[in-house]
Chains A and B, each alone.
Chain A
Amino acid sequence: MNFLSDIGHVLLTADLWRATLEAAALLLLPALGGVISERSGVVNIAMEGMMLTGAFFAVVADLAWHNPWLAALVGIAAGGSMALIHAVVSIRFRADQIVSGIAINIFAAGLTLFLVQRIFGLQDVGHVGQSELLPYINVPVLDQIPFFGRVLFQQNVVVYAAIVLLVVVQLMLFRTRLGLRIRSVGEHPQAADTAGINVYAIRYGAVITSGLLSGLAGAFLAIGISNTFVPNMTDGRGYIALAAVIFGKWTPIGAFVACLIFGFGQAIYDANSVIHVSQYLLSMLPYILTLVVLAGVVGRSIPPAADGVPYAPENE
């Protein structure tokens, strides 16, 4: 079985795992945002749209100002702005959060395409110069460790940021007072309100944060991994991130595990030039694997009790 040995060889290369971690980090950022948002009780399926918006504006800013850090900030802000729309519609207008989320995704897809045509017309969207991208950083000394050095310490700056954020969010949610407040707002908003917590502020903050994180992911994709904007370049990653959130039972660590599985699948698939088996069957791997793990290990995923229910206190 030729392909088994091919896969075996590929599995032993550090590059595969490096690519896995990179793809996982790209998914992790929106997933963290989704976790925070849903823990506060606001269903957020708009990661796809927020990422795409972030990607677009990051590229536009980088082309204009030739500064990846500023451009990343613009991307982050763009994601946050999309999230703000979702927040206002869901929290202030108490709209159905699924409708709002879907609407954001459609809006982002249409808006970015529309703006591409309006701003660039017939021209190419343009490429960001090599030196103006979010840089890959080789951590000195550590990156010389055989195998693990390549996997862990030769990544893009955003990947390192994502790992840090993973730890920060996990600790924040489960070990700090802020996290306790967020979770209580998501489980029993009435009780939290009575206890003096500002439910609206927490929820707004959580949703906007999810937008900032998704925007960062978009910027990473557009001016870190890639160097231009291509319509619909996010390609469903926002929905995968959503699946990761649920799969991970609304915990950052759990979501990260799911992101690793998907990242691995992506990386294995991209190695199709050197593995001699149908690339299409190969690409089903991460999805089948997720189903199996979900069925066998994860089981029931119970969301926060007040997830998706707009807060309407009795005395209003």
Chain B
Amino acid sequence: MAHSRLKFLGVAGVALMLLAACGSSNNTPAAKVYKIGLVTDIGGLNDKSFNHLADLGLEKAKTDFKIQGDVVESKSGDDYVPNLTNFASKKYDLVIGVGFLMQTAMGTVSGQFPTVNFAIIDGAGTDANFNDLKHPNVQSLYFSEQDAGAMVGALAGLLEKQNKAKKNAGVISAVGGISIPPVNHYIAGYKWAATMVDPGIKVLVGYSNDFTDPAKCKNVAANQISSKADILFQVAGGCGLGVLQAAGQAGVYSVGVDADQKDADPSVIASALKKVDIATYTAIQNVVNGKFAGGALTFNIANDGAGYALDNLTVSADIQAALDDLKAKIKAGTLTPPADIPA
């Protein structure tokens, strides 16, 4: 299993270095093995979205740096505090929490261990009222999901406007998991961009209240399809895979989220990307290079932390040009997708 192999490699690596150090007469100390702890959210590591991506970032860091990376999956909200505390109490060099839902837990634990470095994806260490406590040992890794949502929203709008979608009734839709900010940011950008590109467009928004059961999302999507939606954006993690499938079966288009989901279904024409793996890797890199600092890092389209990918579709040159133009404008700050879903 990866971890025992890693530990063996780690020990062997350290042993080799010690040998090398003994062999040579220099006085460089043996390289430190940084201990990184990753606490995932309840979706688990195979959620095909950001828990998985965070783990990928950790794995990449393992190949590039001398780190010991341990992962714990939280099975429920009860596990956030104990899992974070476990790593912190063992004085890990970096404890990463994945997810918006563990903000208060992060606030509590980071306050109890001011000498341990923490990072949290999609949030901050907060108090019970969700006010950012701004602990200096916590680095928030925020994403401007609306940037990614805007790109795919623009694509959807352009396709509808040029009647290049499947039903071309001027209706597109989004299926959200739960109505929380990371989900709503995506949808906000999507709706904003689509409406900007095609003012007459209608954007249906539905929530499945579930991140795990694909059948639920499939039905929500089916309803939207019967209301003539022909480009469906899934923002519902594992459940959202059902959206992609529903689109495929109905012969319309779909858009994936977080990771590139082109293999999930042939109907996927694009994915809104949230590079959680890059963020995780960056946080670890900062610690290894001694550059860790509290505060917030934002990953957006400007620094390539959010973006989009075209899947299973070749777009015409003018659509591509329009997308590139929008991307440049968002990067430059001339256009800013909203964080809240426009009315």
List residues of A whose CB falls within 8 A of some B CB: 10, 13, 15-16, 19, 23, 26, 113, 116-117, 120-125, 127, 130, 136, 221, 225-228, 230-233, 235, 266-267, 270-274, 279-280, 283
Decide if B193 is an interface residue (CB 8 Å cutoff).
no
Contact A274 B214 (CB under 8 A): no
Determine the distance from Cα of A221 to Cα of B245 in the docked complex, in whole angstroms.
13
* Residue of chain B at shortest CB distance from A123: B46
User: Can you list 28 A-B contacts (CB < 8 A)?
Assistant: A15-B222, A15-B223, A23-B219, A113-B44, A116-B46, A117-B46, A122-B52, A122-B56, A122-B59, A124-B48, A125-B46, A127-B265, A130-B265, A136-B249, A226-B218, A227-B214, A230-B239, A231-B46, A231-B212, A232-B212, A232-B213, A267-B219, A272-B207, A273-B173, A273-B206, A273-B224, A274-B224, A283-B209
Please give, as numbers and ranges, the residues of chain B lying within 8 Å of A23 by CB-CB distance.
219
List residues of B whose CB falls within 8 A of some A CB: 2, 44-46, 48, 52, 55-56, 59, 173, 175, 204-210, 212-216, 218-220, 222-224, 226-227, 238-239, 241-242, 245, 248-249, 263-266
Determine the distance from Cα of A279 to Cα of B45 in the docked complex, in whole angstroms.
29
Please give, as numbers and ranges, the residues of chain B lying within 8 Å of A10 by CB-CB distance.
223
Q: Closest approach, in angstroms, between the C-beta of B257 and any C-beta of chain A?
A: 14
Determine the distance from Cα of A222 to Cα of B173 in the docked complex, in whole angstroms.
24
Please give, as numbers and ranges, the residues of chain A lying within 8 Å of B173 by CB-CB distance.
273
Please give, as numbers and ranges, the residues of chain B lying within 8 Å of A266 by CB-CB distance.
219
Determine the distance from Cα of A26 to Cα of B218 in the docked complex, in whole angstroms.
14
Q: Closest approach, in angstroms, between the C-beta of B223 and any C-beta of chain A?
A: 4
Please give, as numbers and ranges, the residues of chain A lying within 8 Å of B218 by CB-CB distance.
225-226
Given A122-B55, A227-B245, A235-B213: A274 and B204 interface contact (C-beta under 8 Å): yes
Contact B219 A270 (CB under 8 A): yes
Please give, as numbers and ranges, the residues of chain A lying within 8 Å of B55 by CB-CB distance.
122
Determine the distance from Cα of A232 to Cα of B248 in the docked complex, in whole angstroms.
24
Please give, as numbers and ranges, the residues of chain B lying within 8 Å of A283 by CB-CB distance.
209
Instruction: Specify which of B204, B216, B248 is in contact with A273 (CB 8 Å cutoff).
Output: B204
Please give, as numbers and ranges, the residues of chain A lying within 8 Å of B238 by CB-CB distance.
230
Determine the distance from Cα of A111 to Cα of B153 in the docked complex, in whole angstroms.
40
Given A122-B55, A127-B265, A280-B209, 12 further pairs, Cβ under 8 A: A117-B46, A122-B45, A122-B56, A127-B241, A127-B263, A226-B215, A226-B242, A230-B239, A272-B206, A272-B207, A273-B205, A274-B227
Determine the distance from Cα of A124 to Cα of B45 in the docked complex, in whole angstroms.
9
Determine the distance from Cα of A287 to Cα of B36 in the docked complex, in whole angstroms.
46
Contact B241 A230 (CB under 8 A): yes
Contact A233 B214 (CB under 8 A): yes
Instruction: Specify which of A136, A227, A270 is in contact with B216 (CB 8 Å cutoff).
Output: A270
Instruction: Specify which of B213, B226, B263, B266 is in contact with A233 (CB 8 Å cutoff).
Output: B213
Q: Closest approach, in angstroms, between the C-beta of A132 and any C-beta of chain B?
A: 12
Contact B215 A233 (CB under 8 A): yes
* Residue of chain B at shortest CB distance from A22: B219
Contact B52 A124 (CB under 8 A): yes
Given A232-B212, A235-B213, A272-B207: A124 and B46 interface contact (C-beta under 8 Å): yes
Q: Closest approach, in angstroms, between the C-beta of A249 and any C-beta of chain B?
A: 28
Determine the distance from Cα of A273 to Cα of B55 in the docked complex, in whole angstroms.
33
Contact A273 B223 (CB under 8 A): yes
Please give, as numbers and ranges, the residues of chain B lying within 8 Å of A13 by CB-CB distance.
226
Q: Closest approach, in angstroms, between the C-beta of A150 and any C-beta of chain B?
A: 10
Given A117-B45, A124-B46, A127-B265: A270 and B52 interface contact (C-beta under 8 Å): no
